Amino acid sequence: MRTFKESTMIRTLTASSWKMITSALLVAAIVGGASRAMRAASTDGSDDRGNTSVAARLGGFPGILAFLDRFVVPAEVADPVVGPFFVPNIKEPAGDIEQCLAMLLDHDLGGSSPHFGAILADGHQCRSSMSNIHRGFGIPDFVIDRFIAIVGEQAAMVGVADSDIQEVAKVLDSYRGGVRNK
């Protein structure tokens, strides 16, 4: 049931970049499992359009989204400090935050997703300002460290290449200033 919902939600996204995502990859990532898709993408180092970016090796947007949904969110929720920020995400598979974050990562790692501004199936629009998104939370450095460390830990566990994990960490860390103590 959950897989069906994920697939439905993803397919109904309105961002134009979705047209560029192959359905085979989508099925592989969502149905077949994120780790398998990410490892498979990492093995040959490119997607079927010849994109050799880190994003392509991670399975593009669907691979990143499935990885976030199946591995990162449960691990983040289990963390005492970061967990509460992800409470809505564990209840709503492939929710707004995961989709927007997956697009952001895909974009910043060389994929074809829009950086921001995509309108999701439920009408939510991914915002551009990290400061505005995190305003009022007062998130300190240690929470950001925990968040990135958990992403890296989960990526290592599913077999993502070390250099790609470092790139993901760099991208996430590049937003630290916009997230910290807002």
Question: Please, which residues bridge with residue 139 across strands?
Answer: 180
* Among the residue ranges 12-20, 32-40, 46-54, 66-74, the one whose residues contact another protein (CB under 8 A): 66-74
Q: How far is the CB of 172 from another protein (least distance, A)?
A: 9
- Out of 30, 34, 120, 165, name the contact with another protein by CB under 8 A: 165
Q: Are 168 and 161 in contact (CB under 8 A)?
A: no
Q: How far, in Å, CA of 116 to CA of 118, rounded?
A: 6
Cβ contacts of 27 within 8 Å, gap of 6 or more: 7
Q: Are 96 and 147 in contact (CB under 8 A)?
A: no
Interface size with another protein, residues (CB under 8 A)? 38
Question: By CB under 8 A, is residue 45 in contact with another protein?
Answer: no
Q: Tokens representing 109?
A: 């790692």
Q: Tokens representing 57?
A: 């090796």
- Out of 85, 110, 121, 182, name the contact with another protein by CB under 8 A: 85
Shorter beta-carbon distance to another protein: residue 25 or 73: 73
What three-state secondary structure class fits 139? strand
Q: How far is the CB of 155 from another protein (least distance, A)?
A: 7
Q: Which residues bind another protein (CB under 8 A)?
A: 70, 73-75, 77-81, 83-88, 90-91, 136-137, 141-142, 145-146, 148-150, 152-153, 155-157, 162-163, 165-166, 169-170, 173
